[in-house]
């Protein structure tokens, strides 16, 4: 089916077509502007492709408008021709302005690209700086020396840039370092109170006024501050690492076995070298085991839960146990447990000491105590027998002595007139010997009570004791016994 449009209907259709192609013309111009302002193209080829596409669309739109203009002339519409020409002129002016903006953006593109490249270089430098820091093998002087060289390389003029990092009074300089009047400075500070600085200098000459004026970019200033902050953190990390290494050395060198335990299931989280050597496991093997597999008293979920809850309530505990080595041998230990909370994480710190020798000494001591107890029982039995014997002896000997003494006294009284001097002296000696024998028996009784009855102390004149001893000897007349000098008086127990 074919529709025939004539007269005013043709004019309306061409008017609408003119308006439509004018909109296309405007969209072409906006496409080129957005391609630049929104960085539609990330590369130079992408930008050129967007510009050429917009230009082709623009040319096609203008060509179509001119064709419509000729169509209007065919129908003799002067008024519409004038409007179209005015619209074309206005669009042409707009395109000229868009073209000028496009030229400005194209002129700025190399500068923006350089800035982006410099920022990428700075990011790459910060990444290398972070990779050079290994907490297990952190060497602060090496990090500072490498940073001075790497920082010099990322500046816009690395051949003329010099860097010096000073920390704790020690300088670390880049190769060919020279101090000049043109430089930057950033302070390095740490929480431990140590401080330092980063200095960046640019070698210039008298005629290099532009370089002196704009020696360093804003990005380089920001980079320097960032590096100073990073180095401060690295220095703090180095100090913490040094302290941890020193502490680890003390723990590993300790005579005690150190364990860090997860309270949930009793899994070993860390151990020291002494524990590994004594138990016969490697560190990796021990970290795959629980404390219950080492100490049988804590083996089993029920036993561990009960013991853990008690430790959480008290905070610390000391207990004796038996540890089992990898070889199956066992040894006695005394372990000090402590509950430690660090933020939301709980730990159990256990320090165990091998008490095998102490247990052996305790068993030996117990045996000696038992032997001493039995010996004391024997001594007490002997003392009782001695006491009983002393009483028997004193009783059995006392009666004859009393009779001898009495008989001697009677003889001395009844036969005094009949005895000569020698007989009287012998009778006197007999009575004296009977009295001494009586004192000896009394001494035996006192000796049997020794250790059972506390006797008061008395003073004894050794001169009198010596005289009594000489009389008891009853030496013959041709022997003389003499004591040279004066003997002391001593305090004794009766």
H helices present in 2-77, as ranges? 8-37, 44-75
Phi/psi at 41 (5° precision): -105, 125
Coil, strand, or helix at residue 80? helix
Residue whose token pair is 């391609």: 35
Segment (H or E) for 258:
strand 257-261
Question: For 101-141, what is the HEC assignment?
Answer: HHHHHHHHHHHHHHHHHHHHHHHHHHHHHHHCCCHHHCCHH
For the cut 90, the answer to whether the pLDDT of residue 281 exceeds it is yes
CB under 8 Å to 239, separation ≥6 — which residues? 190, 192, 194
Q: What is the structure's pLDDT at 213? A: 55
The average confidence (pLDDT) of the chain is 76
Strand partners, 347: 340
Q: At 76, is the pLDDT very low, low, confident or very high (cuts 50, 70, 90)?
A: very low
CA neighbor of 258 nearest in space, from 285, 278, 240: 278
Q: At 282, is the pLDDT very low, low, confident or very high (cuts 50, 70, 90)?
A: very high
CA distance 247 to 400: 87
Strand partners, 349: 260, 338
* pLDDT tens digits, one per residue of 421-464: 777 777 777 777 877 777 777 777 777 666 665 666 678 788 88
* pLDDT tens digits, one per residue of 306-333: 888 999 999 999 988 899 999 999 999 9
* pLDDT tens digits, one per residue of 249-272: 778 878 888 999 998 888 998 899
CA distance 223 to 126: 9
Coil, strand, or helix at residue 289? coil
Sheet holding 161-167, edge to edge: 170-173, 161-167, 195-202, 183-189
> Residues 295, 319: contact at Cβ < 8 Å?
no
Q: Which of 1-5, 110-114, 188-192, 327-331 has the highest mean pLDDT?
A: 327-331
pTM of the model: 0.44
Half-sphere exposure of 422 (CA within 13 A, CB side): 1
* pLDDT tens digits, one per residue of 88-147: 777 777 777 776 776 666 565 566 666 666 676 667 776 777 766 665 566 888 888 888
Q: What is the structure's pLDDT at 368? A: 92
Q: What is the structure's pLDDT at 14? A: 55
* pLDDT tens digits, one per residue of 353-369: 999 999 899 999 999 99
Strand partners, 188: 196
């Amino acid at each position: 089916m074919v529709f025939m449009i004539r007269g005013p209907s043709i004019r309306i259709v061409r008017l609408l077509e003119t308006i439509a192609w004018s909109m296309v013309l405007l969209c072409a111009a906006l496409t080129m502007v957005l391609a630049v302002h929104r960085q539609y193209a990330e590369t130079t080829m992408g930008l050129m492709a967007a510009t050429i596409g917009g230009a082709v669309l623009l040319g096609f739109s203008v060509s179509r408008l001119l064709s419509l203009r000729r169509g209007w002339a065919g129908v003799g519409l002067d008024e519409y021709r004038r409007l179209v020409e005015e619209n074309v002129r206005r669009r042409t002016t707009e395109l000229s302005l868009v073209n000028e903006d496009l030229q400005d953006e194209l002129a700025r593109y190399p500068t923006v690209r350089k800035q982006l490249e410099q920022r990428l270089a700075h990011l790459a430098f910060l990444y290398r700086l972070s990779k050079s820091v290994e907490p297990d093998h952190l060497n602060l002087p090496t990090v500072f020396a490498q940073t001075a060289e790497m920082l010099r390389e990322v500046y816009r003029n690395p051949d003329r840039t010099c860097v010096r990092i000073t920390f704790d009074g020690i300088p670390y300089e880049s190769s060919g370092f020279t101090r000049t009047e043109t430089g930057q400075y950033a302070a390095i500070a740490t929480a431990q109170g140590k401080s330092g600085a980063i200095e960046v200098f640019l070698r210039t000459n008298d005629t290099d006024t532009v370089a002196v004026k704009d020696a360093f970019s804003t990005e380089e200033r920001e980079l320097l501050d960032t590096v100073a902050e990073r180095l401060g953190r690295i220095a703090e990390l180095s100090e913490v690492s040094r302290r941890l290494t020193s502490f680890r050395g003390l723990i590993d060198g300790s005579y005690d076995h150190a364990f860090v335990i997860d309270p949930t299931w009793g899994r070993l989280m860390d151990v020291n070298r002494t524990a590994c050597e004594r138990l016969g496991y490697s560190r990796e093997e021990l970290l795959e085991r629980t404390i219950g597999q080492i100490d049988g008293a804590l083996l089993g979920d029920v036993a561990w839960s009960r013991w853990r809850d008690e430790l959480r309530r008290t905070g610390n505990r000391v207990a004796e146990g038996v540890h089992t080595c990898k070889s199956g041998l066992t040894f006695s230990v005394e372990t000090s447990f402590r509950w430690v909370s660090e933020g939301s994480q709980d730990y159990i710190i256990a320090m165990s000491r091998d008490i095998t020798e102490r247990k052996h000494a305790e068993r030996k001591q117990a045996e000696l105590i038992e032997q001493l107890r039995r010996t004391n029982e024997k001594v007490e039995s002997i003392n009782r027998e001695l006491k009983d014997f002393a009483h028997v002896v004193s009783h059995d000997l006392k009666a004859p002595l009393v009779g001898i003494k009495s008989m001697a006294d009677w003889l001395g009284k009844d036969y005094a007139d009949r005895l000569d001097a020698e007989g009287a002296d012998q009778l006197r000696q007999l009575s004296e010997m009977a009295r001494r024998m009586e004192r000896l028996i009394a001494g035996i009784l006192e000796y049997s009570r020794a250790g059972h009855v506390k006797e008061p102390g008395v003073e004894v004149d050794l001169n009198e004791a010596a005289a009594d001893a000489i009389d008891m000897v009853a030496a013959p007349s041709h022997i003389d016994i003499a004591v040279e000098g004066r003997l002391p008086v001593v305090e004794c127990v009766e």
